[in-house]
Chains A and B, each alone.
Chain A
Amino acid sequence: MAWLPLCAQNEFSESEAGSKILALENAWAQAAQIKDVKAMDTLLDDAFLNVAPDGRLMTKADVLADVKSASVQQFVNEAMTAKLYGNTAIVTGIFRMKGIKDGKPYLQRGRFVDVWIYKNGSWVAISSQATPIAH
């Protein structure tokens, strides 16, 4: 892909892009909650890499398979902020996930950083990492 200097090829204003990306973050959380693999497929780049809260490194295929098999009852994002660097955006925030694993209910709260790139006219996530909040 040919890259131009920062902002030279942007088709969007910074505030528009920020709002759009935060909306995509919420769509991602919703897709995880309702097991909408198709929606998630469009949000993640094929080269997407995820670091799960237990430190596992997952590819896009791993994440999609995980969404299918998981039993998430609620997935909500809090305190998100997006920073734009040309055609790349970095989102930091907190997620709260409630569900059932191995027959037992769980509640997990963690901090995340997601990186998005603007590619072929749309934003796709290329990286995500989650760290459980210990206290």
Chain B
Amino acid sequence: MAKLFCVVLLLLTVPHAFTQGAASTQADESRILSLELAWNHAVQVKDTKALEMLIAPEMAYIEYDGTLMNRAEYLGSVASRSVQAEQILCESMVAHLYGPVALVSGVYRETGVKNGKPYLHRERFTDTWVLRAGNWLCVASQSTLIAR
């Protein structure tokens, strides 16, 4: 877990390229996609310290069942023993930069155990990231189940 914490820290402290022109857009987008992967891993290993570094204090998180959570509630849900995400796989993920704001959209598949029962969710998500004091932080995250 300490390793993941260090990876997140490294990703967050690399100087952002926002002020360096259009050519740097791709670098920022790649970095944000790396942060998304770090987020998935942090959820799997319940590393709430790493998650705290990725999400803004005012983050709004909308779960696949429509539950709205603030940052503390979200971190609590990740730490909860009733849910254990075993595998989170992103099938597709794209980042679009709008100046100091980035949108990431994609599809992910999560398997795990909730209240002793196995689950499999396939969800479409949109995460909104904001560049703040040189760091990208997620301010909104939303998932919607994909109907089969």
Q: Given that A6-B100, A55-B145, A83-B58 are known contacts, is A132 also in contact with B128, CB under 8 Å in the complex?
A: no
CB distance from B33 to the nearest CB of A (A): 17
Which of B128, B140, B144 has the most CB atoms of chain A within a 10 A radius of its CB?
Answer: B144
Flag if B101 contacts A113 (CB, 8 Å). Answer: no
Flag if A132 contacts B140 (CB, 8 Å). Answer: no
Q: Which of A86, A110, A129 contacts B100 (CB 8 A)?
A: A86
Instruction: Give chain B residues whose Cβ lies under 8 Å from the Cβ of A4.
Output: 99
Q: Which of B63, B101, B145 contacts A85 (CB 8 A)?
A: B101
Where chain B touches its partner, the secondary structure class is strand
Cα of A68 to Cα of B19 in the assembled complex, Å: 42
CB distance from B59 to the nearest CB of A (A): 10
Q: Which of B66, B99, B101, B140 contacts A131 (CB 8 A)?
A: B66
Instruction: Report the stretch among A33-41, A46-54, A59-67, A98-106 that lies at the interface.
Output: A46-54
Q: Which of A85, A110, A113, A117 contacts B126 (CB 8 A)?
A: A113
Flag if A134 contacts B126 (CB, 8 Å). Answer: no
Flag if B64 contacts A113 (CB, 8 Å). Answer: no
Q: Which of B66, B98, B123 contacts A55 (CB 8 A)?
A: B123
Flag if A129 contacts B98 (CB, 8 Å). Answer: no
Instruction: Give chain B residues whose Cβ lies under 8 Å from the Cβ of A56.
Output: 147
Instruction: Give chain B residues whose Cβ lies under 8 Å from the Cβ of A135.
Output: 65-66
CB distance from A102 to the nearest CB of B (A): 15
- 26 inter-chain pairs at a CB distance below 8 angstroms, sorted by A residue, are A1-B99, A5-B100, A55-B124, A56-B147, A85-B100, A85-B101, A86-B99, A87-B98, A90-B139, A92-B68, A111-B62, A111-B68, A111-B142, A113-B126, A115-B140, A127-B105, A127-B126, A129-B124, A131-B62, A131-B64, A131-B65, A131-B66, A131-B144, A132-B66, A134-B67, A135-B65
With A47-B96, A132-B65, A132-B144 known, 9 other A-B pairs at CB within 8 A are A3-B18, A51-B105, A54-B146, A55-B145, A86-B101, A92-B140, A129-B126, A129-B144, A131-B145
Which 5 A/B pairs are nearest by Cβ-Cβ distance? A3-B99, A55-B146, A133-B66, A134-B65, A88-B101
Binding site for A on B (CB under 8 A): 18-19, 58, 60, 62-68, 96, 98-101, 103, 105, 122-126, 128, 130, 139-140, 142-147
